[in-house]
């Protein structure tokens, strides 16, 4: 009797079926091996997504908006993402077929006239069927409303909480009524109304923007607005829910003084787990988790926190979670994007020293 190798080389077809191959499969490097690449050939129409980037990446809300456009677009419709601000990440999993990046229009600068002129130029050139924008406070909600007001022939809906290929719905009359309408041309999406997970990957090719040269000429034009600069409120004065960088302590932190000086060095807000608060090391209003506060920081540095479910609930909206822990099997390690295993006190001391050196060298370079 001949034994058949149960692990014969096989590949998974686009339909998800496992097919045995007789020769060894060529190792194709695709960014998302489990997802079929959806290429749009001979696109006849466009859907346009406009969003600001933050620190070179798109936030969840912007990704949901691109995913929404990708779900609605059929095989002959191209999803064109117009990113205002620089972009350093790859958008193949987000659902964009083509990307235009306008790095000079980042959200930190207030230039509504220039932004409106640039996006109007893109809209004019591609004539999209629908325009999607996230309805957020980092500039897209404002820009979207300016666009709606300037293009009054286009139908529009704001704060859309539900939509599909045929309709949109939003809350009206102070959130007491749900109203429904046909799919308009300009759609400002509320957060979390779309699942950003897509079963396919897209090409996400960058194309050179033709509007850049055109808009830089406009820049000299005198404006009604004058930007006096973006400022950040000191980490100690800000509410924990609004903080962008949080350093959080758990049971593993023995020396609170070291911890506080690390937070000071990183210019971060201070949070704590329930155990640390119960021990009296921190005030009750610093507690993060189910019975404390829910935070949505860009960076969350968890020191000596094992990561109980209740605590992980409180940090579910955090973008980058870094953990310092002695136990490599703690639940926090599964949640964290980067985990360093070691003694918290020792690593905190070293971090403080390294930050001091880094700040000093930056000062010297600047001088």
Partner 1 sequence: MIIKRIAVLISAGRHPTSGQPRHCRNDSLALTMAVDLANSHSTELDVIHAGNPENPALANYLALGADEIKVITAEPIIENLAANLKDVDLILTGSRAENGQDSGLLPYLLAVKLNIPIVANALEIKQMDDKLEVLQFFPKGKRRRVAVKLPAIIAIHPLAFVELHYAYAREQQGKIVVLDSRSTVNNTVAENNLQWQIQPKMRKPNKLKAPENLTGHGRLLSAITSENKGGTVVNEGNSVEKAQVILSYLREHQLINF
Stretch that binds partner 1, among 96-104, 118-126, 243-251, 277-285 (CB under 8 A): 243-251
Q: Is 339 in the site for partner 1 (CB under 8 A)?
A: yes
Cβ proximity to partner 1: between 156 and 276 the closer is 156
CA distance 361 to 208: 37
| Residues of this chain, 212-231, that bind partner 1 according to CB under 8 A | 224-231
Query: Pairing relation of β-strands 10-12 and 18-20?
Result: antiparallel
Q: Is 346 in the site for partner 1 (CB under 8 A)?
A: yes
**Could you say which of 20, 75, 283, 341 contacts partner 1 (CB under 8 A)?**
341
Q: What is the per-residue burial (b if ≥16 Cβ within 10 Å, else e) of 98-111?
A: bbbbbebbbbeebb
Number of residues that bind partner 1 (CB under 8 A): 101
Cβ proximity to partner 1: between 180 and 216 the closer is 180
Q: Residue 92: exposed, middle, or buried by beta-carbon count in 10 A (0-12, 13-18, 19+)?
A: buried
Q: Is 335 in the site for partner 1 (CB under 8 A)?
A: yes
Taking alpha carbons only, the member of 47, 93, 99 closest to residue 199 is 93
Phi, psi angles (nearest 5°) of residue 349:
-60, -45
Least separation, in Å, of the C-beta of 213 and partner 1? 26
Q: Is 75 in the site for partner 1 (CB under 8 A)?
A: no
| Residues of this chain, 145-164, that bind partner 1 according to CB under 8 A | 145-146, 148-150, 152-159, 161-164
The residue written with tokens 């893109």 in the block is 122
Degrees (nearest 5) of the Cα angle 16, 21, 22? Answer: 170
- Helix or strand or coil: residue 109? coil
Least separation, in Å, of the C-beta of 304 and partner 1? 14
**Could you say which of 3, 7, 197, 364 contacts partner 1 (CB under 8 A)?**
197
Cβ proximity to partner 1: between 84 and 297 the closer is 297
**Could you say which of 278, 285, 317, 337 contacts partner 1 (CB under 8 A)?**
337
Q: Is 316 in the site for partner 1 (CB under 8 A)?
A: no
CA distance 313 to 293: 10
The residue written with tokens 């205002």 in the block is 84
| Residues of this chain, 83-142, that bind partner 1 according to CB under 8 A | 110, 136-138, 141-142
Least separation, in Å, of the C-beta of 258 and partner 1? 13
Least separation, in Å, of the C-beta of 22 and partner 1? 20
Q: Is 20 in the site for partner 1 (CB under 8 A)?
A: no
Q: Is 309 in the site for partner 1 (CB under 8 A)?
A: no
**Could you say which of 17, 22, 28, 309 contacts partner 1 (CB under 8 A)?**
17
DSSP 265-318: HHT-EEEE-HHHHHTTSS-GGGBBSTTSB----SEEEEES----HHHHHHTTT-
């Amino acid at each position: 009797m001949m034994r058949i190798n149960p692990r014969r080389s096989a590949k998974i077809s686009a339909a998800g079926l496992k097919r045995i191959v007789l020769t060894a499969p060529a190792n194709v490097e695709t960014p998302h091996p489990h997802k079929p690449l959806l290429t749009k050939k001979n696109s006849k129409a466009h859907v346009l997504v406009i969003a600001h980037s933050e620190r070179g990446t798109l936030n969840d809300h912007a990704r949901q908006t691109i995913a929404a456009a990708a779900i609605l677009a059929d095989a002959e419709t191209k999803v064109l993402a117009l990113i205002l601000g620089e972009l350093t990440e790859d958008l193949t999993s987000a659902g964009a077929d083509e990307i235009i990046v306008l790095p000079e229009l980042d959200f930190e600068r207030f230039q509504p006239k220039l932004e409106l002129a640039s996006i109007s130029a893109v809209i004019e050139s591609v004539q999209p069927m629908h325009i999607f924008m996230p309805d957020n406070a980092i500039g897209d909600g404002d820009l979207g409303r300016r666009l709606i007001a300037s293009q009054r022939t286009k139908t529009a809906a704001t704060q859309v909480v539900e939509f599909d290929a045929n309709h949109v719905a939003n809350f009206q009359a102070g959130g007491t009524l749900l109203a429904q309408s046909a799919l308009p041309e300009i759609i400002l999406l509320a957060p979390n109304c779309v699942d950003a997970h897509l079963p396919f990957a897209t090409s996400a090719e960058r194309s050179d923007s033709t509007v850049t040269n055109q808009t830089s000429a406009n820049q000299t034009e005198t404006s009604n607005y004058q930007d006096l600069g973006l400022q950040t409120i000191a980490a100690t004065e800000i509410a924990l829910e609004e903080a962008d960088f949080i350093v959080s302590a758990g049971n593993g932190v023995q020396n609170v003084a070291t911890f506080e000086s690390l937070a000071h060095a990183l210019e971060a807000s201070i949070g704590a787990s329930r155990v640390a608060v119960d021990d009296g090391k921190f005030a009750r209003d610093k507690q993060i988790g189910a019975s404390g506060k829910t935070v949505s920081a860009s960076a969350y540095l968890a020191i000596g926190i094992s990561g109980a479910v209740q605590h992980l609930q409180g940090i579910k909206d955090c973008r980058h979670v870094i953990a310092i822990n002695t136990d490599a099997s703690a639940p926090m390690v599964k949640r964290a994007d980067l985990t360093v295993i070691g003694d918290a006190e020792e690593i905190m001391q070293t971090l403080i020293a390294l930050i001091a050196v880094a700040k000093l060298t930056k000062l010297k370079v600047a001088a």
